[in-house]
Amino acid sequence: MALLQAARHYLLHGDLDKAKSWGLNRAIFYAWAKHYGPRRRPITLEELERRASRRGSGKCPEGFREELGECVQVSPRGYYMIGGEEQTPQRFDLEAKRRIEKLIPWEKAWKAALEYVSSFPREVLENPQRFYKLVYEPVRDTFFATILRGEKPRPPREAVKAAEQLARAEAERKSKQLPLDAFIRKRGSSS
């Protein structure tokens, strides 16, 4: 989780140190949620999307800011925090990179993660529910094994189709949406 989340952040923002902070932060958060969160039944992508849309304004509680569709705390140095603790790039290296290097060289894993994550449209990477269901979940148990076999991790066909459909739907929605100034002019001329 930490590796793919870091690759996601890096591809969208281009800052490796903050990407490592983000990757570790999200890995800790999702591990906690998996252990302590409600798990009555598997959640579908559609259900996750409905839940996200019900949140309304998307505003975060005081002391938090929205980043990649999630509310997170940010330290004065710009690193992400969880439980009041700053997740630094050095901590990522100790907790995630070191574990990965026991299996495969870091550069090989990082390159594979960047290639894999970049195969998805921006709309998928910017949305936490879509990222989890379409990018992370399909490879969470096979990502490193695939690399060890000398293959490149690839998204399953269903995930690619779902991502393409979401991207088309988003593009269609944007093409039909009037900019605010055009809407005001149109509304004013019809009065």
DSSP assignment string, 115-161: HHHTTS-HHHHH-HHHIIIIIIGGGTTTHHHHHHTT------HHHHH
Number of H helices, E strands in the chain: 11, 4
pLDDT of residue 67: 86
Helix (H, G, I), strand (E, B) or coil at 57: coil
44 or 119: which leads in pLDDT: 119
pLDDT of residue 84: 85
54 pLDDT higher than 50 = no
56 pLDDT higher than 50 = no
The model's confidence at residue 32, banded by pLDDT at 50, 70 and 90, is confident
pLDDT of residue 170: 74
Helix (H, G, I), strand (E, B) or coil at 173: helix
Cα separation, 38 vs 172, in Å, equals 35
Domain span holding position 119: 2-189
Work out the mean pLDDT of the chain and round it to a whole number. Answer: 82
pLDDT of residue 44: 58
What the block records as the tokens of 112 is: 């594979």
191 pLDDT higher than 70 = no
pLDDT of residue 118: 93
Token look-up 């490592």 returns 20
What the block records as the tokens of 107 is: 């550069």
pLDDT of residue 42: 60
**Integer angstrom CA distances of residue 18 from 77, 97, 99, 126, 176:** 10, 15, 19, 16, 35
What's phi and psi for 65, nearest 5 deg?
Answer: -135, 160
Cα separation, 134 vs 184, in Å, equals 38
Reported as a single tens digit per residue, the pLDDT across 126-181 is: 988 888 888 998 898 899 999 999 999 887 777 777 777 777 777 777 777 667 66
Nearest to 79 by CA among 69, 92, 70: 92
The number of domains in the chain is 1
pLDDT of residue 4: 93
Please count the other Cβ atoms lying within 10 Å of the Cβ belonging to residue 100.
Answer: 18
Nearest to 112 by CA among 19, 7, 25, 20: 7
